[in-house]
Each structure stands twice: as structure tokens, then as C-alpha cells.
Amino acid sequence: MSPAPPVITARGVDFAYGKLPVLHDVTLTVHPGEVVCLLGPNGVGKTTLVENLLGSLRPRTGSVRVFGTDPRRAGAAFWARIGLVQQNWSDHAKWRVKDQLEWIRSMQLTASAQVADVAEVLDAVGLTDKAGSRLSRLSGGQRRTLDFAAALMGRPDLLILDEPTTGLDPASKARLHDLIMERVDDDATVLMTTHDLSEAERLASRVIIMAAGRIIADGPVTELRERVGRKAEVTWMQDGEHHVHATASPERFLQQLDLDAISGLTVTRPTLEEAYLALVSQPAEAEQSGIDHLTIQSDPATTTAKEPRP
Ligand SMILES: Nc1ncnc2c1ncn2[C@@H]1O[C@H](COP(=O)(O)OP(=O)(O)OP(=O)(O)O)[C@@H](O)[C@H]1O
């Protein structure tokens, strides 16, 4: 059986705002069922890339296909498959929450039969008590949550979410994460930008890191963590001594320990944040040598320190 076709492909995309070059030779493929988190410092071009993928901006060179179609030529049936949260919505401040969603729903119903009820999505995102509020009276987090409710309503096959959780409190953020993963359980694909690395660590099956308009790293979180070059650290107490052991494979190392004879065991792995900071702090080297500019360490484990009990 041949593999399912990619959901998104971008090939050699260059984009500039007038004389300001922003994207340089961006190539990426997103496969069905992936949750891809797009990371990078402010102003590196994440939103610009998303807008190129959606066809609201046109690449100077290169090509974009979503569901095999050029989004600039796509019709209503194509857009019915996509749920969007974008940075800048223009809306009618005087409209009430439920009217806004009913209006979006009526548009979606022209292209798809699988549109959820307004009451259902409001309940899912926890905004039922705001159904009668004017948009202008919503807090920033509630406004973002409403955008997400609108994105979910058509039960989309693809969610493209530009910083969907910015400004959300922890409980609202967790609820939104659950709703994203529910769509993924239903075989949807997700491309989202975020500055929240713990969010990326939690949701992403793959992380893409951008710097200065280029992709400088692309891979699963576990792989990117390894690129930091720092090994995991195992510490424990045994026979009155404090032991520290650096290893690329803590699981394998733990099998060698006599767990009945030790106490105070800890395992500390490099975080995605460490990997991210290492990668974005070296964009110049990344540009020169491409994606694999940081070496993946595969040395055998070595005990680095053995300290007397304090
Ligand atoms: N409409 C525009 N006209 C001119 N320049 C723009 C426009 N929108 C963005 N830019 C510039 O393009 C560059 C990339 O902006 P973009 O919004 O894509 O970055 P980003 O990575 O999404 O940033 P952030 O993380 O802050 O949202 C920035 O230098 C920005 O100032």
C-alpha cells in the first residue's frame, strides 16, 4: 500500500515584504496525523510562513500545496477541511459570541455537513457563560479561546494554529491541548506556532525550529534534545556516597544498578528548552552547515563524578 500523501508541502519558499526578505528557501512536509510545532524567536518569520502556507501571502519563489492543492486557488470544500487560529482576526466588536459562531457555522455548512453546534463547541472550550457577551467585552484569553472554538467547529482534518494558547491561563491551556489531541485521535493533522516549549514538548510529534527565515532544525522532540550534546545525568546514593553518572541512555544504565542497594535516584535529561536555546543561539553556523550543525553525541556513557557524602 502506498503511503498517504502529505497534508502540507512547501518547496523552496522565498518571501519578502517589499524589500525586506523574510523567508529563505523554506522546504517542509507535514504528514497526516502529525502534530508539528513551529518554534523560533520573535520576528523570524513563523507567521509569514503560515500565511504563505495558507495562500494569504504569495511566495516570491517556490511552491506550496495543502491537501495537494494550491491554497491560492482552493474553493469552499478545501477551506471546510481546515480550522484556523490566526494572529490577526478582523471581527465585529459589537457582535455577541454566539452570533459570531452562528455566522461562521452558516458559512461552513455551505461546504460541509459535519459542522458542530455552537452550544457544543462553546461547552467544549468552556465559554458557555459568555455566549451572550459582546466580542469587545471578552478578555484576551477568552477571545483566543473563541477563535479556537471557531476553528474546531467544522471538525477539521487540518488545524493551523498561530500561537493559539498565548495569554491562556493554565486550566484553559490544558483544555485546549486536550481538544487538539482529540482532533488528532480523530486523524487530524496539526501545524502550530508557539513560544511555549513545554507545550511543544507535550503536544508535538515533530518540532521545526526557525531562525532568520530559515528552518534550522526539524525532528522529533527526543532527537532535538539529543542534539544539545549534553547527556542525561543519573544521581543516586550508595554505601554513603553520592554518585553522578552521565549517559546517553539512562534506561540502559539503570538496568546495571542494584536498585535494592541504592536510594535517592534521580534522572535529569536535557530539555527541549536547552536544545532550542542551543540551536537558536547559533543561527550563523546553522546557515553555513545546514540542519545538522549540532552533532548528535553517541559516546559510550562515562561516570563523571563520585563525591563523598555531604
Ligand atoms: N505586514 C508586514 N509588512 C512588513 N513587514 C512585516 C509584516 N509582517 C511582518 N513583518 C516583518 O516580517 C518579519 C517576520 O515577521 P513574523 O510575524 O512572520 O515573525 P514571527 O516569527 O511570527 O514573530 P512572533 O514570534 O513575534 O509572532 C519581521 O521582521 C516583521 O517585522
Whether the Cβ atoms of residue 164 and residue 147 lie closer than 8 Å to each other: yes
Q: pLDDT (tens digit, 9 = 90+) per residue, 226-280?
A: 777 778 899 999 999 999 999 988 889 999 999 999 999 999 988 888 889 988 8
**CA 144 from chain center: how many Å?**
16
Q: What is the mean pLDDT of the chain?
A: 86
Residue owning grid cell 494554529: 161
The preferred substitution site among 26, 37, 42, 47 for testing ligand 1, maximizing ligand atoms within 8 Å of CB, is: 47
Starting at the edge strand found earlier in the chain, the sheet holding 61-66 runs 20-30, 8-17, 61-66
Q: Which atom of ligand 1 is nearest to the CA of 51?
A: 18
CA of residue 49 to ligand 1 center, whole Å:
10
What is the rounded radius of gyration, in angstroms, for the C-alpha atoms of the chain? 23
Q: pLDDT (tens digit, 9 = 90+) per residue, 100-115?
A: 899 888 888 877 778 8
Cβ neighbourhood burial of 251 (10 Å; 0-12, 13-18, 19+): exposed
Would you say the CB of residue 17 lies under 6 angstroms from ligand 1? yes
Residue nearest to atom 29 of ligand 1 (CA): 43
What pLDDT was estimated at residue 287?
A: 46
What pLDDT was estimated at residue 234?
A: 94
Would you say the CB of residue 194 lies under 6 angstroms from ligand 1? no
Cβ neighbourhood burial of 113 (10 Å; 0-12, 13-18, 19+): exposed
Residue 25 grid cell = 528557501
Residue 301 grid cell = 556513557
Q: Which atom of ligand 1 is nearest to the CA of 44?
A: 21
Residue 286 grid cell = 546553522
What pLDDT was estimated at residue 68?
A: 96
Would you say the CB of residue 88 lies under 6 angstroms from ligand 1? no
Predicted confidence (pLDDT) at residue 183 exceeds the cutoff of 70: yes
Mean pLDDT, residues 275-289: 68
Would you say the CB of residue 213 lies under 6 angstroms from ligand 1? no
Q: pLDDT (tens digit, 9 = 90+) per residue, 46-56?
A: 999 999 999 99
Mean pLDDT, residues 198-220: 95
CA of residue 154 to ligand 1 center, whole Å:
29
Q: Which segments of 76-139 does DSSP mark as H helices, in order? A: 76-79, 97-109, 118-125
CA of residue 212 to ligand 1 center, whole Å:
11
Starting at the edge strand found earlier in the chain, the sheet holding 82-85 runs 82-85, 158-162, 189-193, 35-39, 206-211, 214-219
Residue 228 grid cell = 544539545
Would you say the CB of residue 43 lies under 6 angstroms from ligand 1? yes
CA distance 165 to 172: 8
The preferred substitution site among 46, 54, 57 for testing ligand 1, maximizing ligand atoms within 8 Å of CB, is: 46
ipTM of the prediction? 0.98
CA distance 220 to 205: 6
What pLDDT was estimated at residue 298?
A: 29
Q: Which domains does the chain have, with CATH numbers?
A: 8-219 (3.40.50.300), 223-308 (no CATH)
Mean pLDDT, residues 284-293: 43
